[in-house]
Chains A and B, each alone.
Chain A
Amino acid sequence: EPEVTQTPSHQVTQMGQEVILRCVPISNHLYFYWYRQILGQKVEFLVSFYNNEISEKSEIFDDQFSVERPDGSNFTLKIRSTKLEDSAMYFCASTPPGTAGSNEQFFGPGTRLTVL
């Protein structure tokens, strides 16, 4: 069964450093998402991406964040200058063609980001 994959599984970085989290969505999917979950907190939406541009972003997704689909398979989340409060699990998700609101989202296993 196809699945969303994410690398690395765990990323440790120093405050102020740039990190890139990578995701490979399911191959025929068209809508892509990033969510995060701070330890013990709710899963929070960051951004959705469709047709090579951001569809929607939350207030969390400020100028320090960016997303890119550099080729036909990868979907990346970049944090330009990490802060301690960016420490969280980051989940990538994708949705098949059709109306995104009525389709299920397939989530990856997550990348645990630890900012020291």
Chain B
Amino acid sequence: DAKTTQPPSMDCAEGRAANLPCNHSTISGNEYVYWYRQIHSQGPQYIIHGLKNNETNEMASLIITEDRKSSTLILPHATLRDTAVYYCIVRDRGSTLGRLYFGRGTQLTVWP
């Protein structure tokens, strides 16, 4: 089952930073925080993941609090194509099975 809490919806102006929060207060030391997104009816797309350090790639930045109980996904310059449902998922790094538990996610709407 999903172990994360996310707001159901957010919006953001095009060109501005989108900051998507996620609470994962029961996260254990072996669990990564993953972010995926799903653009309308397409397959989920991996964005980024982290364990305890902040991470950045070409798509986004991930800020994880020191106690690891929450994180924020940052899209630095949101575009209309970033409109999607964003899923925050915690996942055991030692798992050999690797199933993903998707919650409801956050519907991000980027407006012109």
Contacts and interface: CB of A to CB of B under 8 A. Distances in A.
Interface of A: 4, 31, 33, 35, 42-45, 48, 50, 55-56, 58, 89, 91, 93, 95, 99-110
Interface residues of B, number: 25
B95 A100 contact: yes
Nearest to B87: A43
A56 B99 CA distance: 8
A55 B41 contact: no
Main secondary structure of the interface of B (DSSP, over half): loop
A100 B94 CA distance: 8
B83 to A, nearest CB: 17
A109 B42 contact: yes
A106 B44 CA distance: 8
A43 B102 contact: yes
22 contacts: A4-B43, A42-B102, A42-B104, A43-B87, A43-B100, A48-B99, A55-B96, A93-B43, A95-B98, A99-B93, A99-B95, A99-B98, A100-B96, A101-B92, A102-B91, A102-B94, A104-B34, A105-B44, A105-B98, A109-B42, A109-B43, A110-B42
Interface of B: 32, 34, 38, 41-46, 49, 87, 91-104
Contacts of A89: 41
A102 B102 contact: no
Nearest to B45: A107
A55 to B, nearest CB: 5
Contacts of B94: 99, 101-102
Given A42-B104, A95-B98, A100-B98, A107 B92 contact: no
Nearest to B47: A104
Contacts of A35: 100, 102
Given A42-B103, A58-B99, 15 more contacts: A31-B98, A43-B100, A44-B102, A55-B97, A56-B97, A95-B98, A101-B95, A101-B96, A101-B97, A101-B98, A104-B49, A105-B46, A107-B44, A110-B41, A110-B42
